[in-house]
Amino acid sequence: MRSIFILFTLLHFSVQAQEYYFKQYRVEKGLPSDIVKACVQDSLGYFWNATDEGLVKYDGVKFTSYREATHSNFVKGFFTTRSGKLFAFGDLDLIEIKNYGDTVLFKKICPVSRVASDSALSYPKLLYEDLQGNIWVSESQAVVRLHQKSLKRYEFTLEHRSPQFLRSFSFFEDRKHRLHAVSFQGTVFRYNHAADKFEPITLKLPEGVEYVSVRDTMLLIGASNGVFTAGLNADGDFTNPQQYYAVPQVSFMAWLSPNKLLIATRGNRHFITDLSRGEVKQLPHIINNINHVYISRENDIWASSNEGLIMMREDLFQQADDGVADFIESITEDPDAGIIYYATSTTLYAFHRATRKNEVVLHLPTGYFQSLLFTKDGLWVANAFRVFLFSQGRIQHEFDFSKNGRFVTSLNKDNAGNIWLAIPGSPRACMIDAKRQLKYFDVPLGNEGVINAICSGREGVYIVSAGKSSYLFFKSYQDSTFKNVSIPITFSTQSDFNVADAVVAQDKLWLATSEGLLSFDHQKIERIDLGSRFSTLPVKAVGLHPEKKLLAANAYGMLLYDTKTGGNDLFNESSGLLSNTITHHGFFVSKDQTVWVGTAKGIVFSEHPLNKLTKTPRPQFILTLSNGKKVSIDHQDIPHGSFLSFEVSSITFPENEVTFQYRLLPNETWMTTHDPELKFSDLDAGNYSLEVRAKKNGPYSWSDSSHLSFTITKPFWQRVWFYMLCFAALFTVMTLVIVGIKAREKARRLELQRLIDERTNELRVSNEELINLNLEKNNLIGIVAHDLKSPLSQILSLLSLIKLTGKIDADSQKYLGFMETSTSRLMDMIGKILDVDGIESKQLNLKMERVSLDQVFNAVTDRFIDEAIKKKINIARNIDKSAIAKVDKNYVEQVLENLVSNAIKFSPLDKNVFVNLHVEADRVICEIKDEGPGLTEDDKKKLFSKYQKLSARPTGNESSTGLGLSIVKKFVGAMDGEIWCESEEGKGASFYVSFTKG
């Protein structure tokens, strides 16, 4: 212990440059109050927060308040037992939290009231578990032992009452496992197990004790005037406390590592001490009044304060010197001296790694440092138009390229020890050989090429340039000239193709280009798959990293790409980079594999190996919604057709830098997303298993997978009960139909009986019906006369043809066949039309069946060819052979005959009649179009009425009774069809008939 105290006297204080990622959560981010008293992580990884507005859970996506879980809204803290139970306590509560992911249960441990009693706690402030498993609870003026369900209170005198709302008695056990209680005033009481009471001891602790803990043989104390330590002796006593660090109002302390301790205070300054180095550094963030500090499973620091909840994580990259915050142009190393050289535009620095001290080597305000390269001869520097060798504190050799009019932008050493210079704008590559002589090599750059950078490999030297046909040139060590080795680019490019940097690794050339990271092997050039976000983003720089990995810089920061697996890790400002903008020569890996990164705001280096991966915490399913309503997958099936939403969180931070992959088994394909909400719809019925894994940016590997199984139920029309319901409905309908028929027959018999009984009235009604029937008969006779004209005309035409021929040949036989068919149809038509009751009730003697209308159309059209020829009319057909309708074949023939007859009848000579038949959705559409005089608006109104004479007249002096279209409309309506006409006066007419598709 003496050596520890000597170390304490050597402590020095410094304000450290930012070493921690810092994120603050307040009311505007979802907390119900900015006053946070404590934070803890449960067994599933969820964070719980004690606030002045109740208990709050944080799942890495959102905060959820459980105000109903406690009687008082003032929750003070948490305690995790050695068996893993999580307790929360507040002014009027002591409860156990049981978190099952999508469900949280709260169990009352014991009564808590405003007034202390033998059966209830009063305003608990701290919990402690001794080695025997007893829970000790500190109150304002007492401590209470809680064993199973029994309470035992140990009162203290008024002088030991705590003046604080949050702190009171603290507990620790000595090396003999004896329990001690320390009052806020610093008085120490030892528990006498035999006498079952607390007894004061002589040795006191400092005033204002808020924190006490034991680490090995050291007692650590946080008090109102600083941090104190005391040694724990083997006999159970402890030494007189010694002040470790004077800082006012220490509120809490937490071990960050075996040698690092965070000291929190009631003020706004907080500190981290390194016991091994004897240093105390102030946190760079101002936080008002830290009440509690929790170290998470990922070693993140969670500080509960009066300004919300603060998460801090030690940066992976540390700043070499916070005094240099400029654009870093280049980095190199003297490995023997342990010096890192780096340059801004005007200044060359040397960072001594052993002492972590920075010094200015050269300051050239009129120059411009571009590139650094360390060799056995010393430090080679490219500064504006000059290249010089710096060694032993001075410039040893110098070259001036000002005559070229361009800066020297890059230096590279090949395998032979030659130094190559990139001078954009020059048509030649320049080399400094081992004798420090300049040599020039012509490069066939063409119109687009420019020397951007030079790199060397085992076989020779590469020059990277611009243009799709001039981006790469190569010279072997044996050759004396560079050749264009650019391979045609087969993938699409977004803009002018430019290569900014290159390195050789694994027998390939890796190119940093305007189209992403590319690989080249003299046979092909390929774009590297860096994921949907990064693959096509411009890469500004590329560098080598051990274990077959590459460093690549883009707008998001630095990527570490594994050439073996194809995986990549992103490092950005949340990892400790001072800026996501990395300079052209911004990568350097030192001899001990430390990665140095030059950014737009200074230089940083990795404190830990980047290739040592930590597994990302396994994601949790935090919320499941079906059609917008929360559901528990474990307890119910999901209805078919539901819109599903699964919210997942890996509960790792920063929470917005996590990539998720998921697949819905049995589908084996992984899908990648950065959205924590996974959405699915239109899933077929069946069993599914959703598998999700996560990966955090930086040196993290993919997490273990989380699985969630659920079932999409069958749609109702595939269930047994629906089949049974349909059968029952069908049975019911049939029953109702039969009952209805019988009821109608009975009603009809009653009606007839009533008519017989009312003979006089029957005679009057019969007389009226006879009169109406006689009128209808006259109408029907007119209809029959009208419809008989077409087949009779055909018969007459055929007979005329027979007379003209003078003999009966094959054609005559054909015409006689037509006559016979027409006569038979006429007989059928007369039988149906004379059925007066059928026409009146619109229940004709229909025989509805599936009819191929193409055959009917062709047959009807054929019958009118001769009439059309007489008037020099062309009948144009466009008939869909798949058109099948549910109609009466005889009636549909009459409809079509009437319409085709009218079209020819009203068409002038040398015109066309169009007969079209097509299918639209569930309807078959028949169209008869002519080029006749068309219809007036007045014609259209009376088009389908009986005995109507229209303004348009037949063009061949044919007769017209005005009954044809009224009959057509009756027939079409009887077959559940529709008929309409579209016409403009002088532009012909189109008649449309629509039937149900068969």
Only one residue has tokens 């007036």, namely 936
- H-run or E-run covering 5: helix 2-9
Residues 34/306, Cβ–Cβ less than 8 Å? yes
* pLDDT confidence of residue 839: 52
Q: How far apart are CA 255 and CA 273, in angstroms?
A: 10
- H-run or E-run covering 794: helix 759-805
Amino acid 828 reads D
676 prior amide bond cis, ω within 30: no
Q: Is 525 exposed, middle or buried (0-12, 13-18, 19+ CB in 10 A)?
A: buried
Strands (E), 240-385: 242-245, 250-255, 260-265, 271-274, 279-282, 290-295, 301-305, 308-314, 317-319, 330-334, 339-343, 347-352, 357-363, 369-375, 378-383
Residues 702/719, Cβ–Cβ less than 8 Å? no
- Nearest-CA neighbor of 174 among 199, 153, 191? 191
Phi, then psi, of 614 in degrees rounded to 5 = -105, 140
Amino acid 878 reads N
- Nearest-CA neighbor of 57 among 93, 84, 86, 94? 86
Q: How far apart are CA 340 and CA 347, in angstroms?
A: 14
* pLDDT confidence of residue 362: 95
* pLDDT confidence of residue 718: 74
Only one residue has tokens 């990395």, namely 582
Tokens of 189: 């009481």
Tokens of 13: 């204080």
* pLDDT confidence of residue 845: 76
Q: Where are the domains positioned within the chain?
A: 396-606, 615-716, 720-757, 846-998
Residue 669, strand partner residues: none
Q: How far apart are CA 567 and CA 695, in angstroms?
A: 11
Local mean pLDDT, 10-residue blocks, the chain (998 residues): 35 50 94 97 96 95 95 96 96 95 92 92 96 95 92 96 95 96 97 96 95 94 96 92 94 93 96 87 91 95 96 90 90 94 96 92 94 95 94 92 86 94 91 93 91 93 94 94 93 88 92 95 92 92 91 95 90 91 92 93 89 88 88 76 90 88 88 90 89 91 91 82 85 89 87 76 68 63 60 62 63 65 58 47 74 90 89 91 91 90 89 93 92 87 75 70 74 91 90 91
Q: At a CB cut-off of 8 Å and minimum separation 6, what does 629 contact? A: none
- H-run or E-run covering 696: strand 686-696
Residues 35/56, Cβ–Cβ less than 8 Å? no
CATH class of 846-998: alpha beta
Residues 314/24, Cβ–Cβ less than 8 Å? no
Q: What number of H helices and E strands is found in the chain?
A: 10, 74
Torsion over CA: 534, 536, 542, 548 (sign): positive
Torsion over CA: 311, 317, 321, 323 (sign): negative
- Nearest-CA neighbor of 302 among 310, 37, 617, 283? 310
Q: How far apart are CA 774 and CA 477, in angstroms?
A: 118
Residues 143/150, Cβ–Cβ less than 8 Å? no
- The domain 615-716 belongs to what CATH superfamily? Immunoglobulins (2.60.40.10)
Phi, then psi, of 935 in degrees rounded to 5 = -125, 140
Residues 333/374, Cβ–Cβ less than 8 Å? yes
Q: How far apart are CA 570 and CA 844, in angstroms?
A: 81
Q: How far apart are CA 797 and CA 666, in angstroms?
A: 75
Torsion over CA: 755, 761, 765, 771 (sign): positive
Residues 170/180, Cβ–Cβ less than 8 Å? no
Tokens of 151: 């309470």
Q: Give the CATH fold of the 396-606 domain.
A: Methylamine Dehydrogenase; Chain H (2.130.10)
* pLDDT confidence of residue 965: 84
